[in-house]
A and B are shown apart, each in its own frame.
Chain A
Amino acid sequence: MQVKWFSICDRNRCFFSIFCAVFTVALLASASWAGSNDSGKLTVYVVNYPLQYFAERIGGEHVKVVFPAPADVDPAYWVPDVKTISDYQQADLILLNGAGYARWINKATLPRFRMINTSAGFKGQYIEAPGILTHSHGSEGEHAHESLAFTTWIDFNLAARQAKAIAEALGRKRPELKDAFQKNYQKLKQDLLKLDQDLKTLVSKDPSQPLVVSHPVYDYFARRYGLDIKSVHWEPDEIPTNEQMMELNRILKKHPAKWLIWEGKPMKESAERLQAIGTDSLVFHPCANTPDKGDFLSVMRQNIKNLNPAFKIDF
């Protein structure tokens, strides 16, 4: 009798185990199905924040955009580790800024034909960084390390063209979603061209206004909006040294700028030292990395607002 009771108990336990196993398998299957739905999204890796923003706006829910650079680095000079390069290799698309941005790309092995140079369409309009020193050795003759200005996206017209390249690349990858991508791109284009127009209107108030910029990253911006700029090499989180102040004074003698444009909010002492020589500070954040607050558009709108006093507009 005892044996029989145990055997019934064992059978129940057995049924319970089978039920649990079937239930677990069903759960795992549904989870993996949900996962595969998620993985049905295009995985897009980018090299800077503006491209992330554009790809997210255009791709919407159909893409998963990954920008793996840490928030506290300049993505132009960031070098990913092997694991991150391997992640880039797995992406469906890799969006590059072009114009020599993110030099690590030339030293990494990436799937060449999944890489999209978003600025390839205006290659002829790249700006060469001035003052390149050539060198020669061996039998190769004289050569220079190519150095191009790369902050293309703060010329909002070029930014719109980069966005167009993204929309086309996504459309090629998912032809069935081409119309949706185009629709999203048109909305983004409108936003970018609105910024472009706002800046043009702003600068037209005083187009001859001389300006100094804290870093040589405003070349495309200056060219598009007709700004007269000279560049120094100052960091917002460092107080300018006496040599740097002397260099600025030399520049100001020939280029009487009343405003210095910073990439980020300068230290109070830096602003005071500048004020002492009659130069005010304003911030135009190129937004190469993910902003602490807001998004690309809101940062750029704020940038334009920041420029207002320089062009004598009171809002």
Chain B
Amino acid sequence: MIDSLNIAWKYIRFNKVKTATLVACITLISFLPMALELILDESEKQLMSRAVSTPLVIGAKGSALDLVMNTLYFDDEVPELITMESAHRVMDSKLAQPIPLYVRFQARRNPIVGTTLDYFDFRNLRIAEGRQLAILGDCVLGARVAESLGLRPGDSLVTSPETLFDLAGVYPLKMKVVGVLTKSHTSDDLSVFVDLKTAWVIQGLGHGHEDVTKLQDPTLVLKRSGKNVAATAKLYQHTEITEKNIDAFHFHGDLSQYPLTAVLAVPRDDKSGTILRGRYLKREQTRQVVRPADVIDGLLQNIFRIKNVLDAVISVVALATILAIILVFALSLRLRQREIQTIFKLGCRRATIVQLMAAEIFIIAIMSAVFCGALIWMVNQFSNDLVRMLFIR
């Protein structure tokens, strides 16, 4: 048997091009369906695990998929905004615990998630280094954001402007990095967390400036009437929140009218969840409540429908390839007729000749399996990122 393998190996080495072509064909045809399966499994796992662990999402009426993708995976597509009042409404209903989210801004291409401390408890996120958010302007980084940007507690991170050409827009805010989260292998690793109020400061809804009622520089005052002081655009607004200027930061108006992208609602029990969902069914409601698991399941159904088409295409291609390989071997046998005759005349039995051919096929199959295994290993290693790139972010 070893001799047959040795002779087969010599033959294969001599016919490098033919062997390489055969190995490539077999490798690709085995790798493609397996890789596809792997990626789909990973995407299902990633999408579903987070969706299943998030009971209800409340947002503005519109695309449920945009809402869920933004709320769960911090997708760039910002859904229609709702107000903080929606979170209060859930709280007042006593049916669920609301966790408000404002996912709209970015810092160096990483989403900024404005939320409350309850989010960290809900997702079981722990601080690996530094401390938790404590004051306005603090931010906590997901593990991979900290890694990729090379940031540690004590460093700072500047928010990115929403649009490059919005010259009259809000100044970027320099945030203080106070902590880094432990790795969770979810979208949280790729995000920058801030307090909801800091997110509103980033938007300019909360801001810090000199006390306009005590302005001395006349160029800063546009008009001073009995009860109002109008400041000019020259009025300096702080772009960083420090111990010295934090007192100057303030919010105007009713905070319950401040914007959110969604509210995560964690019902007390199934019954409370059903009652809560029922309250958002009226046609005149401007809010919707969705079960992320249902939305993601719908998305996966579409992905699987595409997968079925791909499977059919791959099956046809695989059949054609197998037929081509059989043809290659048949033609190869015909071309090697004289060689086989010589071996036979040298005294080899027919079984030995079959053994030699089988050894060649075995070696080619083993080589293909090794290559295929290596490729699958690589896909497996990067499937997490690949899925994020393809389906999530």
A residues lining the B interface (CB < 8 Å)? 82, 85-86, 89, 106-113, 133-138, 140, 142-145
B116 engages A133 (CB within 8 Å) = no
Q: Confirm or deny: B131 has a beta carbon within 8 angstroms of a beta carbon on chain A.
A: yes
Assembled-state Cα–Cα distance A108/B135 (Å): 4
In Å, the complex CA distance between A82 and B135 comes to 8
Q: Would A113 and B97 be within 8 Å (CB), given that A89-B117, A137-B231 are in contact? A: yes
Contacts of A112 in B (CB 8 A): 100, 116-118
Q: Are A113 and B134 in contact (CB under 8 A)?
A: no
Q: Once bound together, how far apart are the Cα atoms of A136 and B232, in whole Å?
A: 9
Tell me the nearest residue of chain B to A107, going by C-beta: B136
Which residues from 211 to 236 on chain B have a C-beta closer than 8 Å to any C-beta of chain A?
212-213, 227-233, 235
Note all chain B residues with C-beta closer than 8 A to A135.
212-213, 228-231
9 nearest CB pairs, A to B: A137-B231, A109-B133, A135-B212, A109-B195, A143-B252, A112-B116, A111-B117, A85-B134, A107-B136
Contact of B134 among A86, A144, A145 (CB under 8 A): A86
Contacts of B116 in A (CB 8 A): 109, 111-113
The reply to whether B230 and A136 contact each other, CB–CB distance below 8 Å, is yes
List the A side residues contacting B382 at CB < 8 Å: none
Mask: chain B, 285-307; 1 = CB below 8 Å from A; 0 = not: 00000000000000000000000
B253 near A143: Cβ-Cβ < 8 Å: yes
Contacts of A137 in B (CB 8 A): 209, 212, 230-233, 235
Residues of B with C-beta under 8 A to A142: 228, 230
Instruction: Please give, as numbers and ranges, the residues of chain B lying within 8 Å of A110 by CB-CB distance.
Output: 117
Known: A113-B91, A113-B98, A143-B253. A136 touches B117 (CB 8 A): no
Interface of A is mostly: mixed
Is B118 a contact partner of A111 (Cβ separation < 8 A)? yes
Contact with A along B234-255 (1 / 0, CB 8 A): 0100000000001001111100
The answer to whether A89 touches B134 (Cβ under 8 A) is yes
Closest Cβ of chain A to B381, distance in Å, is: 37
Across-interface contacts of B233 in A (CB, < 8 A): 137-138
- Provide 22 A-B residue pairs closer than 8 Å at the C-beta atoms, listed in order of the A residue: A89-B132, A106-B197, A107-B135, A108-B134, A108-B136, A109-B135, A111-B118, A112-B116, A112-B118, A133-B228, A135-B212, A135-B213, A135-B229, A136-B228, A137-B212, A137-B231, A137-B232, A138-B233, A138-B235, A142-B230, A143-B252, A144-B252
Closest residue of chain B to A108 (Cβ to Cβ) is: B135
Q: Which residues of A contact B189 (CB under 8 A)?
A: none
Q: Which of B117, B232, B246, B253 contacts A109 (CB 8 A)?
A: B117
User: Please, which residues of chain B bring their CB within 8 A of the CB of A106?
Assistant: 197, 251
Q: Is B138 an interface residue (CB 8 A)?
A: yes
Number of A-B contacts (CB under 8 A): 78
Least CB distance from B34 to A in Å reads 46
A109→B138 contact, CB < 8 A: yes
Cα–Cα, bound, A160→B221 (Å) = 46
In addition to A107-B246, A137-B233, 5 A-B residue pairs with Cβ atoms within 8 Å of each other are A89-B134, A106-B197, A109-B197, A137-B232, A143-B252
Contact at B228–A107, with CB atoms within 8 Å?
A: no
Residues of A contacting B253 with CB < 8 Å?
A: 143
Q: A89 to B138: give the CA distance in the assembly, Å.
A: 15
A143, B130: Cα distance in complex, Å: 38
* Residues in B111-160 with C-beta less than 8 Å from chain A: 116-118, 121, 131-136, 138
A136-B231 contact given A89-B134, A108-B134, CB 8 Å threshold: yes
Closest chain B residue to A172 by CB distance? B94
CB pair B132 A86 closer than 8 Å: yes
Chain B contacts of A138 at CB under 8 A? Answer: 233, 235
Residue of A nearest to B196 (CB): A112
Residues of A within 8 A of B121 (CB): 111
Q: Are A85 and B135 in contact (CB under 8 A)?
A: yes
CA distance A109 to B246 in the complex (A): 14
Chain B nearest CB, measured from A136 CB (Å): 5
Q: Which residues of A contact B131 (CB under 8 A)?
A: 82, 86
Chain B residues with CB below 8 A from A133, complex form: 213, 227-229
Q: Which residues of A have CB within 8 Å of B212?
A: 135, 137
Chain B residue contacts of A143, Cβ below 8 A? 252-253
Give the complex CA separation of A133 and B228 in angstroms.
Answer: 6
CB distance from A69 to the nearest CB of B (A): 17
In whole angstroms, how far apart are the Cα atoms of A109 and B178 in the complex?
Answer: 13
Residues of the A chain whose Cβ atoms lie less than 8 Å from the Cβ of B232? 137
List chain A residues, Cβ under 8 A from B133: 109
